[in-house]
Structure 1
Amino acid sequence: MTRTKKPKKLYIQITLLVFLCFITNLLLLITIMGIIMITPFGKWLVNNQINALILTIVSSYIASSILSTFVCYYFVGKLFEPLVSLSDASKKVAKGNFSISIKDSSSIPELQNAIDSFNQMVKELNKIETLSNDFVSNVSHEFKTPLSVIRSNINILESPSISEEEKQKSMDMINTSIDNISTLVSNVLKISRLDNKNVKVEKKFFRLDEQIRMCIVNLTDRIEEKHLDLDIDLEECILYSDEMLLSHVWDNLLSNAIKYSYENSTIGVYLQIKKEVVVTIVDHGCGMDEETKKHIFERFYQGETSHNKEGNGLGLTIVTKILQLCNAEIEVESEVNKGSKFTIKFSNKSSKSLN
């Protein structure tokens, strides 16, 4: 919190302004009195010896003007003080100081609103700067891991005594690390576009059930690799939303369900039209504790460390931002060693059933 010093230059200008008003009023009074004195009424005043009355009036005016000058100086100074604080604080913000806030208050509603809005703006800028710094730090860390793997395996490949089996293993690890870097770059770009609101939501009618079904088909190899069963119950539904953006949602959520499911378990995928359009994805895997559930939508957060070699903790952040753009909600239920259930809800006004 800061209270800025009163700048001398501004107060000199205020003083000159008030003094000019005083001189102007005094000259105006003298002019009026001079005009009056040359009129018959003025001559009558002189003949009746009421110069003392005139002198009293002029003296009273001068005294009251001096008093009003000091009063105006004080109140005008108080009026301008919040503006001075706002001006000085704005200059500091322009130089990158986002920890500042204005303590001064004003009795003028419009000026007080400006001060409150400024303080709120600085708070948000401070949050953004913190997130930005954390984001850069996390991205740097995420890049280091696959790059280290690539470097170490290149050193192994350079060995003349390496066997074909070891060579193939190193090549596979290099390819996996390159895929991880590619995914990270892609997700960082998506996050950046979503943060900067550079994503235009292009809504149209499309078959939501068919979109989810197609996403499941695209993940067939990964499903079969873990010998997973599928329990699919998708009501036919036409949704009015952004088809391209929502495809990223289903891909992320289904990929996570596969990733965290135990082998030979079942993944449930359901679509129902009730008061809302509800999509539910259920896995029977490692699940999450309460602490993990609080943070899973945060950037780079990964609660279950045994799977951290896959992914980079940005998927659910992207999911949340996309669903916000599409006016949808996401909820999560989970229990350790029993699995997780993600529920996505769309307004029923944006859909229609084919039944």
Structure 2
Amino acid sequence: MFKQVKKRLTFLYTISLLCLLFLFIGILYFLISHEINQKQVDEVNGYFSKEKMDFMEDLYEKKHRGVEYDPNRTIFYYVYNQEGNLRYGKEVFQNLVGQIKKTEGNSSIKRMEWGKKHLLLVKKTLVINGVLYGFVVLGMDITGEEHVIQNITWTLVGMTLFFSLLFAYLGYYFAGQAMIPIKRAFLKQEKFVSDASHELRTPLSIFYGSLDLMQREEKLSAYGLEVLADARAEAELMNQLINNLLFLARSDKKELPLRLENVNLSELLENTCKRFSRRKAESIALITNIQKGIYLRCDELKIQQLISILLDNAFRYTVDGKIIVSLDTRNERLIITIEDTGCGISSTDLPHIFDRFYRADLSREKGGTGLGLSIAKSIVDAHGGKISASSIEGEGSKFIVFFSREK
């Protein structure tokens, strides 16, 4: 149990840290890339502002025609007239002009890949006194900057994964250290419950014997016999409580003995329902929808105890109405459903009904020790099944038990 809690805490801690680190990387990547990209665009825009008049001259200069190749340039450009015809340009990569698609609009910024190169392209219009003469496509090689951004990103991702593993290990270790005092206290409580339950059996047996001897006395008055009957009823309640505590103590230690055999679950459920139907109130209708011939590999006595707890719970809190018991198979699972039309359970109490000694509101005070549903859940867990409960206050409750056919 403690190992599962420690693993769950470590997993939640690591996932939370991983999400925060990846969020940090995403924000950092956005800020770095935005800053670098903005500087690149500003550099191209600055070059355009500086050379704008030269670009105007290139439109009408007869000597400037075609494209010149100059690999030593930082910024390359292509000058187009109003009709979109290329007039002049200087490029750093041969035959690049054929790969540049003319974009619509007065100005635009885009990035493209050409081979292994990353390029920034900026389109600027040549306008003087409101008259459009043409446009220029300027560009620069940003391969180095892109590689820097990628290297920074992968470095941050690698560091994130490394530190996440490191923090997962440290979190697992420190979670274990933090749970040591909790584990000690739990084990002490567990040992106390187990020892106290065992030790109480002896004086309780003596108490039972003393009650039997006193009942044989002929001189006891009617009042004395009534007192003895009350004492025996309380002793039986105490004995039931001790047995329940011992059951839960063994379940906590994973020492709950199970005698597994193939049991006809249909017959077991029908027989248990018949036993309860003999002592039910006339105002309660017991309806069974039990599929025949369903077998389960289980401990028959434990499953019978489980069914008895759920049925007793249904009859205890149903004064007038019906109780429906069903058994069927669905998707390789056996499903036991016990539904009543009793007082129901409030939404506040519903999440806690399987807790030990938990008692719901006063409208459901009908005696008992508050351990029945805890024992039912322990039995289901021991058989690898699942139990769930749903309820609407004032309308009734439904308990569903799932078992796998393999069990």
If the length of structure 1 is used for normalisation, what is the TM-score?
A: 0.54
Greater share of residues in strand: 2
User: Does structure 2 conserve the Cα–Cα contact (< 8 Å) formed by 1:241 and 1:326?
Assistant: yes
| C-alpha distance in 1 between matches for 2:224 and 2:238 | 21
Q: Is the 8 A contact 1:228 1:267 kept in 2?
A: yes
Residue 294 of structure 1 aligns with which residue? 351
- Contact kept, 8 Å, 2:277 with 2:286, in 1: the verdict is no
The answer to whether structure 1 residue 326 and structure 2 residue 383 are counterparts is: yes
- Identical positions, percent: 25
Deviates more, 1:199-208 or 1:323-332: 199-208
Higher Cα Rg: structure 1 or 2?
A: 2
Q: Which of 321, 331, 338 matches 1:281?
A: 338
Taking the aligned partners of 2:380 and 2:404, their CA distance within structure 1 comes to 12
* Matching residue's letter, 1:228: I
Q: 1:228 to 1:235 in 2, by over 3 A?
A: same
Q: Using the TM superposition, give the Cα deviation of residue 307 of structure 1 relative to its aligned residue in structure 2, in angstroms.
A: 5.3
The gaps in structure 2 that reach 5 residues or longer are: 1-162, 215-219
In the other structure, the counterpart of 1:123 is 179
**Could you list the per-position Cα deviations for residues 157-198 of structure 1 after superposition, in whole angstroms to 9, with x for gaps in the alignment?**
9xxxx973x555534432321221011011001011101111
Q: Which residue of 2 aligns with 1:241?
A: 298
Deviations 1:296-331 (A, max 9, x none): 111100104355462111111111122111111111
User: How many residue pairs were aligned?
Assistant: 226
Residue 129 (structure 1) shift: 2.0
- The counterpart of 1:228, out of the listed 269, 284, 292, is 284
The residue correspondences of 1:1-355 to structure 2 (distance < 5 A) are: 113=169, 116-117=172-173, 119-120=175-176, 122-123=178-179, 126=182, 129=185, 133=189, 164=222, 166-167=223-224, 169-224=226-281, 227-236=283-292, 237-262=294-319, 264-275=320-331, 276-305=333-362, 308=365, 310-350=367-407
**For 1:209 and 1:266, how far apart are their aligned partners in 2?**
20
Secondary structure of 1:206's counterpart equals strand
Match of 1:24? none
Change (3 A) 1:338 1:347: same
Preserved contact between residue 356 and residue 371 of structure 2 (Cα < 8 Å) = yes
Mapped contact 2:343–2:393 kept (Cα < 8 A): yes
Q: 1:231 to 1:126 in 2, by over 3 A?
A: same
Q: Give 1:203 shift.
A: 2.5
- C-alpha root-mean-square deviation of aligned residues, in Å? 3.8
Q: Give the C-alpha shift of residue 136 in structure 1.
A: 6.6
TM-score, with normalisation over the residues of structure 2?
0.48
* Residue identity in the other structure for 1:346: F
For residue 269 of structure 1, what is the amino acid of its counterpart? V
